[in-house]
């Protein structure tokens, strides 16, 4: 089924746009954010993948062999002027569409590219992917997102009953999950609860806590058991229209985000409120670099959560090709250096006014419109 965006402000003869949805919630949010911001009608193509879906991407093919054609959205002419997508598994499909159009279709890829750059028309990326400077690559500090003042205002109004009765200030706590070399387990969740509650108690306020699609159940339970302060806690559920995530961002006076999620950090920074990054690790496992000249691991008294996947990822980052990994510390570095966020510590000072990053959506829209001559 096709989903069409609002026709407000759409030119008389807009380009035909397809969005190829991703296989991660964060990617879908970014794809949809760009499609909506362009203000052109668009069709949504949802793919169902085969068990061997990674092979066409790994072999850098232009092919539909990685998807189940019978269960996926139809990919038939007329071919679009523009395709927006993300992820290695979707690259072969996007390239196949471009080939069927005789090369007329433009491909905009979010995140990073796996096939050679010459196969794409624009890649919109952020620092963790370490892509080179190139005329076909748009570098943003934050990911694309849908956060704006109108959305936040409406969300806050819609969830007013959920927020009623809580003392101010409100401190949002946004929980992501394990990612790459970092693990959100019971230990990290308890430490997060302790630090967030310390901030709330010091200021006489309350927490607005939400998990996400990647938050392990064990971490959610550990946080709930350790938190000792007024709060509202939402446990993420798929396709839940009552999800108060944006209302929590809107009502918050300060926002804490676990450092694994660059997408949620980007959305938090877009509010212009003070943003704190929670470090999933301590000591030599920390996201933050040790102070220059330090001979001892910071926070070494606390144990970190163990995950075999995290250990293997660290080895890959150290010994494997850089192209196969991402380094989210590069985003943290830019956010903290530019004053957009600060690290959450055991003792937190009252929040100072936040800043907004350069508008990643505006920059992306300008590049895409220019590319299509609009």
pLDDT tens track for 259-281:
999 999 999 999 999 999 999 99
The overall average pLDDT reported for the chain is: 90
Residue 53, pLDDT above cutoff 90: no
Q: Are strands 137-139 and 106-110 parallel, antiparallel or unpaired?
A: unpaired
pLDDT reported for residue 70? 95
Instruction: Report the share of the chain in percent with pLDDT over 90.
Output: 79
Indicate whether 66 and 135 sit together in one domain: yes
Looking at residue 323, its pLDDT comes to 83
- Whether residues 118 and 153 share a domain: the answer is no
Q: Is the domain of 104 the same as that of 156? A: no
Q: Note the pLDDT of residue 291.
A: 66
Is the pLDDT at 63 greater than 50, yes or no?
Answer: yes
Domain containing residue 332: 149-357
Q: Is the pLDDT of residue 298 over 70?
A: no
Determine the pLDDT at residue 231: 96
Regarding whether 203 and 135 lie in a shared domain, the answer is no
Whether residue 72 lies inside any domain: the answer is yes
Residue 210, pLDDT > 60, answer yes
163 and 250 together in one domain: yes
Q: Report whether pLDDT(348) > 80.
A: no
Domains in the chain: how many in total?
A: 2
Average confidence (pLDDT) over 300-316: 88
The pLDDT of residue 300: 52
Is 6 part of any domain? no
| pLDDT above 80 (res 350) | no
Whichever domain contains 182, its CATH number is 3.40.50
The whole-model pTM stands at: 0.88
The whole-number pLDDT of residue 41 equals: 96
Name all contacts of 312-320 with Cβ < 8 Å and 24+ positions apart.
Answer: 313/180, 313/181, 314/181, 317/180, 317/181
What's the average model confidence in pLDDT over 29-42?
95
Residues 81 and 104 in one domain: yes
pLDDT over threshold 80, residue 164: yes
Is the predicted pLDDT of residue 30 greater than 80, yes or no? yes
């Amino acid at each position: 089924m096709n989903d069409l965006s609002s026709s407000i402000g759409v030119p008389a003869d807009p380009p035909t746009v397809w969005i190829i949805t991703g296989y991660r919630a964060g990617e879908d949010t970014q794809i949809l954010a760009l499609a909506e911001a362009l203000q052109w009608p668009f069709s949504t193509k949802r793919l169902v993948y085969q068990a061997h879906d990674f092979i066409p991407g790994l072999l850098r093919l232009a092919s539909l062999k990685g998807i189940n054609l019978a269960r996926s959205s139809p990919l038939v002419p007329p071919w679009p002027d523009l395709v927006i997508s993300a992820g290695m598994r979707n690259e072969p499909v996007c390239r196949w569409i471009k080939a069927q159009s005789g090369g007329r279709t433009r491909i905009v890829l979010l995140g990073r590219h796996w096939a050679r750059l010459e196969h794409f028309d624009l890649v919109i990326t952020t620092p963790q992917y370490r892509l080179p400077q190139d005329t076909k690559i748009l570098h943003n500090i934050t990911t694309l997102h849908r956060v704006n003042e109108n959305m936040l205002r409406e969300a806050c109004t819609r969830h007013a009953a959920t927020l009623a009765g809580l003392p101010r200030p409100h401190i949002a706590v946004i929980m992501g999950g394990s990612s790459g070399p970092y693990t959100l387990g019971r230990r990290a969740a308890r430490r997060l609860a302790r630090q967030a509650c310390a901030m709330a108690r010091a200021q006489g306020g309350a927490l607005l806590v939400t998990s996400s699609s990647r938050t392990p159940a064990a971490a959610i339970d550990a946080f709930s058991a350790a938190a000792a302060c007024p709060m509202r806690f939402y446990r993420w559920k798929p396709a839940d229209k009552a999800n108060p995530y944006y209302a929590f961002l809107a009502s918050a006076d300060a926002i804490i985000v676990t450092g694994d999620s660059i997408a949620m950090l980007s959305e938090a920074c877009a509010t212009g409120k003070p943003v704190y990054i929670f470090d999933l690790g301590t000591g030599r496992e920390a996201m933050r670099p040790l102070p220059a000249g330090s001979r001892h691991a910071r926070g070494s008294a606390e144990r970190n959560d163990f995950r075999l996947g995290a250990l293997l990822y660290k080895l890959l980052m150290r010994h494997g090709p850089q192209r196969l990994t991402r380094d989210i510390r590069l985003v943290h570095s830019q956010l903290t250096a530019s004053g957009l966020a600060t690290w959450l510590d055991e003792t937190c000072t009252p929040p100072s006014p936040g800043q907004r990053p350069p508008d990643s959506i505006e920059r992306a829209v300008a590049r895409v419109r220019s590319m299509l001559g609009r």
